[in-house]
Amino acid sequence: MSKTDPQQRVEQLRALITRYNQEYYELDEPSVPDAEYDRLFRQLQQLENDNPELQSPYSPTQKVGSRPVSAFQPVAHEMPMLSLDNAFEQSEFEAFATRLRERLDTASAVAFCCEPKLDGAAVSLLYENGQLVQAATRGDGQTGEGITANARTIRNVPLQLQGDYPQRVEVRGEVFMPVQAFDDYNAKALARGEKTFANPRNAAAGSLRQLDSRVTAQRPLHFYAYSMGVVSDDVELANSHYQRLHQLQQWGLPISAEVKLVNDAQGCVDYYQDIMQRRAELRYEIDGIVLKVDAIKQQQDLGFVSRAPRWAIAWKFPAQEEMTVINGVDFQV
Ligand code: NAD
């Protein structure tokens, strides 16, 4: 291999991944399966790790999502909306768990909050005095797209919080289309000769990012909260992520019934196997699980890297067979 090869490959991969990001995040029309995208992304990460002189803050490996589309009002996130690091194998999850304990400098077991990785679109919902005043997509992590009118049409997004809620709270979660609703929607669209969606994820992201909220209102979207962003200090928050999710639930926000607290890394492995077995029975599509260090103090000690928190990881499931064919092209993934 000549000396210029890694550089050429890095440039090639960056251009390809940037194009795929646009197709996926801006147009809601991916041209390659996620597993193929993930394979190229990892290749780029590996090349950048092996050749530090080729690293760049402009590389897609350092960025989140894609730029927000200008047709929407830009919304600056008060706290960045990040992505998640991925594990594809048990050994990668275990390496993550070992790294955590080394960083935390603890010999004790670390408790995790285990959650399904909902396959939809991330949203931020801002409540002031209990009322939903703003909703935004993740965008590039710093600036999202204002989709307040659209979010208001989602049936299980509360317009008014209940109970002892903070004066100002930003709720983060996933908007998705349940599998049955997605199948029904596509069957009807097909009968009417309209465009169908490639998968529930694209259906959710495409429906959420409509310029006319009456269109969004007709789409069977659903929301589950999975974290808090900025919160005013007038209400005491739990010091456990799991308990914070239940605080959100008390304020009227829906959370997944599959959220579980485990005492150690082995608990995460058991959770992975349990959810993996029941994957087909779930009402919504998931592409893996998300494992988050439960103690907020430990989360704060671990902090963030450029595009992801150090205290969480997405452990992805193997690609599903039918996802390997897109636009008639068969991908070897
Ligand atoms: P990601 O989907 O791997 O992880 C981050 C996202 O997970 C969050 O933004 C959130 O929306 C979601 N999420 C779901 N459940 C969650 C939970 N319980 N807690 C926290 N977050 C949760 O990362 P990403 O940056 O959104 O996207 C990267 C992935 O998207 C790639 O790995 C690939 O699978 C796919 N992608 C595919 C293409 C393509 O062309 N096919 C292009 C770009 C991205």
26 C-alpha to center of ligand 1: Å? 14
CA dist 256 → 91, 238, 245, 291, 315 (Å): 27, 19, 10, 14, 17
106 C-alpha to center of ligand 1: Å? 30
The rounded distance, in Å, linking the Cα atoms of 291 and 29 is: 28
Domain spans in the chain, listed from the N-terminal domain onward: 1-63, 64-330
Instruction: Establish whether residue 38 lines the binding site of ligand 1, counting it when its CB lies within 6 angstroms of any ligand atom.
Output: yes
**281-327 confidence digits (pLDDT tens):** 999 999 999 999 999 999 999 999 989 999 999 999 987 644 455 55
| Per-residue H/E/C for the chain | CCCCHHHHHHHHHHHHHHHHHHHHHHCCCCCCCHHHHHHHHHHHHHHHHHCHHHCCCCCHHHCCCCCCCCCCCEEECCCCCCCCCEECCHHHHHHHHHHHHHHHCCCCCCCEEEEEEECCEEEEEEEECCEEEEEEECCCCCEEEECHHHHCCCCCCCCECCCCCCCEEEEEEEEECCHHHHHHHHHHHHHCCCCCCCCHHHHHHHHHCCCCHHHHHCCCCEEEEEEEEEECCCCCCCCEHHHHHHHHHHCCCCCCCCCEEECCHHHHHHHHHHHHHHHHHCCCCEEEEEEEECEHHHHHHHCECCCCECCEEEEECCCCHHHHEECCEECCC
314 C-alpha to center of ligand 1: Å? 9
**163-204 confidence digits (pLDDT tens):** 999 999 999 999 999 999 999 999 999 999 998 988 999 999
Instruction: Establish whether residue 199 lines the binding site of ligand 1, counting it when its CB lies within 6 angstroms of any ligand atom.
Output: no
**Per-residue pLDDT averaged across 254-261, rounded?**
98
Instruction: Establish whether residue 186 lines the binding site of ligand 1, counting it when its CB lies within 6 angstroms of any ligand atom.
Output: no
User: Percent of the chain, pLDDT > 90?
Assistant: 86
Instruction: Establish whether residue 226 lines the binding site of ligand 1, counting it when its CB lies within 6 angstroms of any ligand atom.
Output: yes
Q: Which are the contacts of 202, defined by CB distance < 8 A and separation ≥ 6?
A: 28, 29, 30
Report the chain's mean pLDDT, rounded to a whole number. 93
Q: Indicate the CATH number for domain 64-330.
A: 3.30.470.30
Residue 66: pLDDT band with limits 50, 70, 90? confident
Q: Which atom of ligand 1 is nearest to the CA of 65?
A: 25
Contact 135, 225 (CB under 8 A): no
Contact 176, 119 (CB under 8 A): yes
The rounded distance, in Å, linking the Cα atoms of 119 and 29 is: 15
Instruction: Establish whether residue 118 lines the binding site of ligand 1, counting it when its CB lies within 6 angstroms of any ligand atom.
Output: yes
**Per-residue pLDDT averaged across 26-52, rounded?**
92
Instruction: Establish whether residue 17 lines the binding site of ligand 1, counting it when its CB lies within 6 angstroms of any ligand atom.
Output: no
Q: Which are the contacts of 324, defined by CB distance < 8 A and separation ≥ 6?
A: 33, 35, 330, 331, 332, 333
The rounded distance, in Å, linking the Cα atoms of 97 and 109 is: 10
83 C-alpha to center of ligand 1: Å? 7
79 C-alpha to center of ligand 1: Å? 18
Residue 333: pLDDT band with limits 50, 70, 90? very low
Catalytic residue among 117, 188, 195, 297: 117
What is the best residue among 85, 177, 224, 290 to mutate for testing ligand 1's pocket, by most ligand atoms within 8 Å of CB?
290
Residue 89 is labelled as binding a ligand: no
> Which pTM does this prediction carry?
0.93
Residue 23 is labelled as binding a ligand: no
Ligand 1 atom 32: the closest Cα is on which residue?
38
The rounded distance, in Å, linking the Cα atoms of 131 and 148 is: 12
Instruction: Establish whether residue 140 lines the binding site of ligand 1, counting it when its CB lies within 6 angstroms of any ligand atom.
Output: no
Residue 195 is labelled as binding a ligand: no
117 is catalytic: yes
The rounded distance, in Å, linking the Cα atoms of 61 and 306 is: 9
Contact 215, 150 (CB under 8 A): no
Topology (CATH) of 1-63:
Helix Hairpins (1.10.287)
* pLDDT at res. 198: 86
